[in-house]
Amino acid sequence: MIKSSVLGYPRIGKDREWKKALEAFWAGKLEESDFHRQLQEIRLNHLRKQQERGITLIPVNDFSYYDHILDTAAMFGIIPQRFSYKGGVVPLSTYYGVARGTKEATASEMTKWFNTNYHYIVPELDGALPQLTENKPLIAYREAKEKLGIEGKPVIVGPLTFLKLSKGYSQSETDLWLERLLPLYVQILQELSSEGVEWVQIDEPILVTKLNNEDIQRLNTIYKTFAEAAPKLNIMLQTYFESVQYYSDVVALPVKGIGLDFVHGYSGNLSSIRSHGFPADKVLGAGIIDGRGIWKAPLRNKLELLKELSTSVKPESLIVQTSCSLLHVPVTVGSETKLAPELKNALAFADEKLDELAILAKAISSDDAEIAAELEENDRAHEALKQSSDRNRSDIQQAVASISNQQLVRSRPFADRNVAQQKKWQLPIFPTTTIGSFPQSAEVRKARQLWRKGEWNTEQYAAFIREQIDIWIKLQEEIGLDVLVHGEFERTDMVEFFGEKLAGFAFTQNGWVQSYGSRCVKPPVIFGDVAFIGEMTVEETKYAQSRTERPVKGMLTGPITIMNWSFVREDIPREQIAYQLAYALRQEVEALEKAGIGMIQVDEPAVREGLPLKEEEQANYLAWAVKAFRMTTCTVQDTTQIHTHMCYCEFHDMIDSIEAMDADVISIETSRSHGELIHSFELNTYKLGIGLGVYDIHSPRVPRVEEMTSMIERALRVLDPKLFWINPDCGLKTRGLEETVDSLRNMVKATQIAREQYVPVG
């Protein structure tokens, strides 16, 4: 029978047990020994589940206490100097300090894991003296074998990927760092081989991105070194998220297996095999079950693909596996009891994907007839959803087609609008504002729960929300902010909130996935045509504006972010989904403006993460992403100021697209990158309003005035002072009240210093 494998399993647990344990430990409510014990129980349960479902090669060391890239850095003792690490096994306090920051030291940068919504902690190599602090893959292998009798497949992040995702070294030092790291990797592999490990999975997703000839030479050096050091160990060189860039070079490497993504890299990888074949002496890890999507696999199609691959690869050299780690999908559909049958029957989360792997492995090893019932049931599930009235709204499809063919531009260019807006708003130099959300206290969450359970009626809940708005409008005025927000106390999640008020969305009860650390999100499911139903944000925003003379921003989540942070339908192009969302949000923007709201923020923090990994596909994506934003915002008056917000630190390759969005003001997260984004503006002129986040809201520490002053000063060396705004780097929902107020007070103090030092030119 053909083997089956998983590249990784969700860490969080069916009921988010992992998240709850982490947060209890951080809060001092759980002793370290109990914390380790609880996480071990979760970890073993995940292994046991895969074992019971008949997965042949079960991954170990895919579990993490926070993030797998941070784990790799800690395993090599690569800890930033500011944490005073002295060597040896990294203590949990230091490990979590790097991830979350401490009172004394800022956290390491956090950024997107390729083009997913998972965030990893960026390793800082500057000043590090790498050492093998502990062989984590070996520890994980021993645990699985001793506790459950599982012959696990240790998972390790490969050296080329690790280096490419790290910072704190120059390109000229790449080979030097490889020389430092390779002996440590060799030691890990030799110890695994001595232990009797059969397979080890080395993840090199960097191979699906653009590399150069030097990188290919490094790749050859790396895997030749591994093959010579541990000749008996079977290495599965694993790629995912796209097709391999240098196929012929990669499959020629001295490894036993090559793992390829036949979902997101389907056309490229299949074309390579058709053109060049596959080495007879290697095993193919065929990633045919989508590790990032939630829909049932079309089993007949997958079976046909496996049969085609079997013409190039001997059955005993084929492993059926997920396209990537299941980290990116919820745990089980079994927890969902409220979804419409035609939708629920079309879903497959992590556990259901394990079953799909088992079915396909069985089918390719025997005969289609043995899984006839499963295939017929799969066909019915897909057809029922296809015929759903929610997927066939001609009114929406026609309206969107019409609007998308129009010229989507503001009535006047930014320079003219800016004069009109300055005249209207009379803001001081360096206006201060926040990104939108304020702390959601236990009281806020309890009130929402009471309302959702029906214990509070809608008027009681609305009155409570108004009370919270009153408190925070007053606080913002006392702090001295120039442009206020209502605080978003009525919103659970910036995407879910809007999805609940639009047609075409569905919501799971327990469909959680990890975003970063213990931060879990429950992405909505866009399963049908998206349509505007009625006003979504006008009531709260209008009320907030009535409580102050200062401008209050209306707050919306943009179409690309809603799409990228949702699980989306696969039967139409993502571009069309984006336009449907833009058309619906456009109607809300117009409603806000009609209600007297003259500043409207349409957040697009997820534009960058949707950027295709293949360079040749990026321009097209950015073109329709910009078009969707403009479709949302282009109909407002000249004096209505459109704001947006983006999270990420690598914008140098899309500055032109950001400017093309034509937002009057953009705020960009930059604090964790320690001002590196500012370098982009040293190389590129930006002519619209901009705010670079001057402090990190993901860390519980209160930033000093001096830190923010330094950030402001550097930004003003490359940006037009007359167009510069000052704000935190992201929303403040997850922060506490006192730290939020103290941080904002320091931000306003830093702004006042900047204003005093500013000398107008001309």
3-class state of residue 106 by DSSP? coil
Print burial letters for 581-606: b (CB count within 10 Å at least 16), e (below 16). Answer: bbbbbbbbbebbbeeebbbbbbbbbb
- 17 appears as a binding residue in the annotation: yes
Phi, psi (rounded to 5 degrees) for 322: -75, 155
Q: Which residues contact 275 (CB under 8 A, 6 or more apart)?
A: none
Q: Which of 123, 119, 72, 18 is nearest to 516 (CA)?
A: 119
CA–CA separation, 614 and 58 (whole Å): 30
CA–CA separation, 311 and 262 (whole Å): 16
- Record the tokens describing residue 245, joined without a space: 């860039």
CA–CA separation, 266 and 290 (whole Å): 11
3-class state of residue 115 by DSSP? coil
**Could you give the angle at the alpha carbon of 473 between the alpha carbons of 559 and 457, nearest 5°?**
70
- Which of 46, 264, 486, 698 is catalytic? The answer is 698
- 609 appears as a binding residue in the annotation: yes
- Record the tokens describing residue 627, joined without a space: 């078009």
CA–CA separation, 134 and 143 (whole Å): 14
- 603 appears as a binding residue in the annotation: yes
CA 460 to chain centre: 35
Q: Are 730 and 692 in contact (CB under 8 A)?
A: no
- 520 appears as a binding residue in the annotation: yes
CA–CA separation, 640 and 611 (whole Å): 29
- 112 appears as a binding residue in the annotation: yes
Q: At what angle do helices 458-479 and 737-757 cross, to 10 degrees?
A: 40
- 18 appears as a binding residue in the annotation: yes
- Record the tokens describing residue 234, joined without a space: 């079977």
Q: Is 232 exposed, middle or buried (0-12, 13-18, 19+ CB in 10 A)?
A: exposed
Phi, psi (rounded to 5 degrees) for 220: -60, -45
Phi-psi domain of 183 (left: phi exceeds 0; alpha: psi -120 through 50; beta: other): alpha
- 235 appears as a binding residue in the annotation: no
- 19 appears as a binding residue in the annotation: yes
CA–CA separation, 35 and 744 (whole Å): 34
Q: Are 125 and 177 in contact (CB under 8 A)?
A: yes
- Between the CA of residue 588 and those of 133, 535, 536, 558, what are the distances in Å? 54, 6, 7, 11
- 647 appears as a binding residue in the annotation: yes
Q: Is 403 exposed, middle or buried (0-12, 13-18, 19+ CB in 10 A)?
A: middle
3-class state of residue 316 by DSSP? helix
Residue 698 annotated as catalytic:
yes
- 565 appears as a binding residue in the annotation: yes
CA–CA separation, 274 and 509 (whole Å): 43
Q: What share of the chain is helix, strand, coil (3-state, %, to 5)?
A: 50, 15, 40
Q: How many CB atoms lie within 10 A of CB 373?
A: 9
Q: Which of 247, 264, 312, 305 is nearest to 284 (CA)?
A: 312
- 214 appears as a binding residue in the annotation: no
CA–CA separation, 469 and 216 (whole Å): 57
CA–CA separation, 424 and 426 (whole Å): 6
Q: Are 605 and 561 in contact (CB under 8 A)?
A: yes
- 542 appears as a binding residue in the annotation: no
- Between the CA of residue 572 and those of 280, 294, 295, 348, 471, what are the distances in Å? 38, 16, 14, 19, 45
Q: Which of 558, 560, 510 is nearest to 339 (CA)?
A: 510
- 730 appears as a binding residue in the annotation: yes
> Residues 389-398: contacts with CB within 8 Å, 24+ apart?
390/503, 390/504, 390/527, 390/528, 390/529, 391/527, 391/528, 391/529, 391/569, 391/571, 392/529, 393/503, 393/528, 393/529, 393/531, 395/531, 396/529, 396/530, 396/531, 396/580, 396/583, 397/529
- 435 appears as a binding residue in the annotation: yes
- Record the tokens describing residue 599, joined without a space: 């500043």
* Numbered residues of the known binding site: 16-19, 112, 435-437, 488, 519-520, 565, 603, 609, 645, 647, 669, 730
Residues tagged in the binding site annotation for L-methionine: 435-437, 488, 603
Annotated catalytic residues are 698
Annotated binding-site ranges for 5-methyltetrahydropteroyltri-L-glutamate: 16-19, 112, 519-520, 565, 609
* Residues in binding site for Zn(2+): 645, 647, 669, 730
Q: Residues annotated in the binding site for L-homocysteine, as ranges?
A: 435-437, 488, 603
